[in-house]
Structure 1
Amino acid sequence: MKCPNCDYSNPQGTKLCLTCGQELLNGNTPEQDPNSLFYEFAQIVDEIPSDFRSVKPKFRNIFSRVFRKHSEVEAERLFIVGTSLTTPAIDEVEGTWPKPWLFARIFLIALFAYLGLYMGVNFFGNINFIPGLIIVGSFGVPITTLVFFWEMNAPQNIAIYKIVYVVLVGGILALLVALVFYDLLRNNINPITIGIVEELAKVVVVIFFVRDLKYKYILNGLLLGAAVGAGFGAFETAGYALRSLLSGSFPMLYNTILWRSIFSPGGHVAWAALTGAAMCRVQGDSKFQLNMLMKPKFMFIFILVVAMHALWDSPMPGIYPFGQITLTVISWIFVFWMIRIGLNEINEKKRSLAFTYYK
């Protein structure tokens, strides 16, 4: 079935164009189907110059494809992006808000696996299921959140194998760097120093991955930061879960996994994503220099993230879990704000290329 938007020939039965993501309906997109309610609206939108089209987040649009049926071909198409053969040129990248959906499927798969492992331990008393329970419970939600960031990476220039590499290697490196900082601090440990140490450790690792300018877009920094944060948070959760188990309390083990999973999207993953995006924002097309860390656009995000981390770990009575819920909402407000800045960056580069071409 040929897509009327980009002329790509899709396999029969595909509901969304595998190249541009346009919805297909009996050979026509909803906007081109005379019987569609979107027809007249789309005609008007097409007349609006692209410079004036909004890329502001509309949540019902961003998540509009989550509950639709998708084929395996569509999932396979997502997993092959980011290679030298499948990365689109910047002028081919859509500068509008992506509509992710795969992350929801990943969550359901992880949930099914966790429930199966839970049954093996709790109902059948088989302790061989415990390592799997801890691993899936610790990684399930962080990886789900990471896949969301991966789908939001409009340039589609980072392959899935690279993401797996950053999660494992980046997560471990960030933990080791944090341990070095903790050793330097010795007994000076409090919520503020914890926030500084752990967020700075993740920034150091993100810089390692973006320093060569291969991944220079703000959305790239958002994704790579989220990957480092996902690895950091998941390994940390696995450690706390093991401690709970060694204390001899299975309910504490389940509670540790449950609550840390619920709040993981608003914790390490979102915080590292924000600092990663801020790092790429100040770096731009230049190679990394140490003075970039002192630029206001980076310092504002870093101080914000450290403050949220410190408040998260604060022992103030009554802050849990309402404080964590509030901080999660604040984190994601800034995440969507940074996504918008990243999309605007893509549009600016496309306009710059077009101007150079016509000049």
Structure 2
Amino acid sequence: MKCPQCVYVNPEGVKFCLNCGNKNLDPNSPTQDSNSLFYEFAHYVDMVPRFERSVEPKFRNIFSRVFKNHSILEAERLFIVGTALTTPKIDEVKETWPKPWLFARIFIFALIAYFGLFLGVSVFKNINFLPGLIIVGSFAVPITALTFFWEMNAPQNVAIYRIVYVVFIGGILSMLVALVFFNILKHNINPITIGIVEEFAKIGTVIFFVRNLKYKFVLNGLLLGAAVGAGFAAFETAGYALRALLSGSYRGLYSTLLWRSFLAPGGHIAWAALTGAAFCGVQKDNKFDINMVIKLKFLRIFFIVVLMHALWDSPIPAIFPFGQIMLMVASWILVFRMIRIGLKEIAEKKGRLTI
């Protein structure tokens, strides 16, 4: 259906233009209020006609929209969800696989900014660019991965300002909790205790945020867990990058940022996302109870994550070729499995509404 105002070709059935927002796309349709317009948009929030959607977790389907052209309005519309007035009702939520694309744009923007800062330091020898280089280099990939999780959050009930809050407050809070336990266990620091302490600190922080019954979906736990993990990973990378710089090695600084950024999505971000999703899968629509953390459904995922974290920090990945990369792949296999579980949960809840 072509918009008479901007000539944008919209999917059949929409009542307003997805490019310019023109509400008179269909002259025969009644005027809608702003809230119902949002629900209309919720059906097309990823701007994909229904026949392009797929419930199968095939990479060619999930990432099919990354290299397509998107208008600024499409990006802006993604940021309006999650508030009290713009959260879709459960019957408006799609239980099929979303097709994220904004995360790739975020990565490109961050890469351009990093390259500019890199030129300022390496070519123009201006040390004023160093703080920006470390910050952008540390946050670029974690924020990119987090944007992917945000786009995959089908319920669309978490506002972007909340995500920013969790990244900063959740990230630093989880690091401080970990430091407390590291001080207690300072004579027993090894890969296993590191895995237990850091994953316990992150899931404790995630539980603090998801204990509110507003965030009751598995996909909510996946997103908020990824937010805590992204903050943790970015702050940790910034610390290691600063250490490398203070050692007097620019090469060490660049390699630290590059290698840790490459591994970031399969480490703290994926692990915290998995445990967060597992906890929400246990809590569901119930009020928080401390006994939820000893449920087998949660403990199974938590111990798998701790095991992967321990293997990650052990000498094994250094001895075994591509060990950490294999752990990354394993982590994301579990992530996509958890996304599938989250989408099935939505389908089941929608099914109960029709009974």
The alignment's TM-score, normalised by the length of structure 1, stands at 0.88
Task: Trace 1:177-188 onto structure 2 (pairs within 5 A).
Answer: 177-188=177-188
1:65 aligns with 2:37: no
2:46 and 2:274 map into 1 onto residues whose CA distance is: 31
Q: 1:354: how far off?
A: 1.1
Given that residues 8 and 19 in structure 1 are in contact (C-alpha distance below 8 angstroms), is that contact kept between their aligned partners in structure 2? no
1:212 aligns with 2:212: yes
- Tell me what 1:123 maps to: 123
Q: Deviations over 1:29-59 (max 9, x none)?
A: 595xxxxxx8xxx9xxxxxxxxxxx733111
2:349 and 2:205 map into 1 onto residues whose CA distance is: 27
Q: 1:292: how far off?
A: 1.0
Given that residues 141 and 262 in structure 1 are in contact (C-alpha distance below 8 angstroms), is that contact kept between their aligned partners in structure 2? yes
2:125 and 2:240 map into 1 onto residues whose CA distance is: 22
Q: 1:19: how far off?
A: 3.5
2:181 and 2:142 map into 1 onto residues whose CA distance is: 24
Q: 1:126 to 1:170 in 2, by over 3 A?
A: same
- Tell me what 1:140 maps to: 140
Task: Trace 1:339-354 onto structure 2 (pairs within 5 A).
Answer: 339-354=339-354
- Tell me what 2:233 maps to: 233
Q: 1:7: how far off?
A: 3.2
Given that residues 23 and 30 in structure 1 are in contact (C-alpha distance below 8 angstroms), is that contact kept between their aligned partners in structure 2? no
- Tell me what 1:281 maps to: 281
Secondary structure, in 3 states, of the residue corresponding to 2:188?
coil
Secondary structure, in 3 states, of the residue corresponding to 1:286?
coil
2:337 and 2:248 map into 1 onto residues whose CA distance is: 44
- Tell me what 2:25 maps to: none
- Tell me what 2:306 maps to: 306
- Tell me what 2:43 maps to: 20
Given that residues 277 and 338 in structure 1 are in contact (C-alpha distance below 8 angstroms), is that contact kept between their aligned partners in structure 2? yes
Q: 1:24: how far off?
A: 7.7
2:200 and 2:47 map into 1 onto residues whose CA distance is: 46
1:82 and 1:321 map into 2 onto residues whose CA distance is: 43
Structure 2: which 5+ runs fail to align? 4-9, 22-39
Identity over the aligned pairs, expressed in percent?
Answer: 68
1:90 and 1:194 map into 2 onto residues whose CA distance is: 39
Q: 1:21 to 1:319 in 2, by over 3 A?
A: farther
The one-letter code of the counterpart of 1:221 is G
- Tell me what 2:103 maps to: 103
1:226 and 1:321 map into 2 onto residues whose CA distance is: 27
Given that residues 90 and 350 in structure 1 are in contact (C-alpha distance below 8 angstroms), is that contact kept between their aligned partners in structure 2? yes
1:188 and 1:23 map into 2 onto residues whose CA distance is: 49
Secondary structure, in 3 states, of the residue corresponding to 2:42?
coil
- Tell me what 2:88 maps to: 88
Q: Deviations over 1:60-96 (max 9, x none)?
A: 1100000000000000000111111111000110010
The one-letter code of the counterpart of 1:241 is A
Q: Deviations over 1:98-130 (max 9, x none)?
A: 000000000000000000000000000000000
Q: 1:123 to 1:206 in 2, by over 3 A?
A: same
- Tell me what 1:163 maps to: 163
Given that residues 205 and 228 in structure 1 are in contact (C-alpha distance below 8 angstroms), is that contact kept between their aligned partners in structure 2? yes
1:241 and 1:329 map into 2 onto residues whose CA distance is: 25
Given that residues 221 and 279 in structure 1 are in contact (C-alpha distance below 8 angstroms), is that contact kept between their aligned partners in structure 2? yes
Q: 1:20: how far off?
A: 2.2
Structure 1: which 5+ runs fail to align? 32-37, 43-53
Q: 1:214: how far off?
A: 1.2
Q: 1:265: how far off?
A: 0.3
Q: Match for 2:14 among 7, 10, 32?
A: 7
- Tell me what 1:176 maps to: 176
1:198 and 1:217 map into 2 onto residues whose CA distance is: 24
Given that residues 203 and 272 in structure 2 are in contact (C-alpha distance below 8 angstroms), is that contact kept between their aligned partners in structure 1? yes
Q: 1:203 to 1:24 in 2, by over 3 A?
A: closer
Given that residues 63 and 100 in structure 1 are in contact (C-alpha distance below 8 angstroms), is that contact kept between their aligned partners in structure 2? yes
Given that residues 24 and 30 in structure 1 are in contact (C-alpha distance below 8 angstroms), is that contact kept between their aligned partners in structure 2? no
- Tell me what 1:251 maps to: 251
Q: Deviations over 1:243-296 (max 9, x none)?
A: 000000000000000000000000000000000000000111111211111111
The alignment's TM-score, normalised by the length of structure 2, stands at 0.89
Given that residues 317 and 324 in structure 2 are in contact (C-alpha distance below 8 angstroms), is that contact kept between their aligned partners in structure 1? no
1:257 and 1:67 map into 2 onto residues whose CA distance is: 26
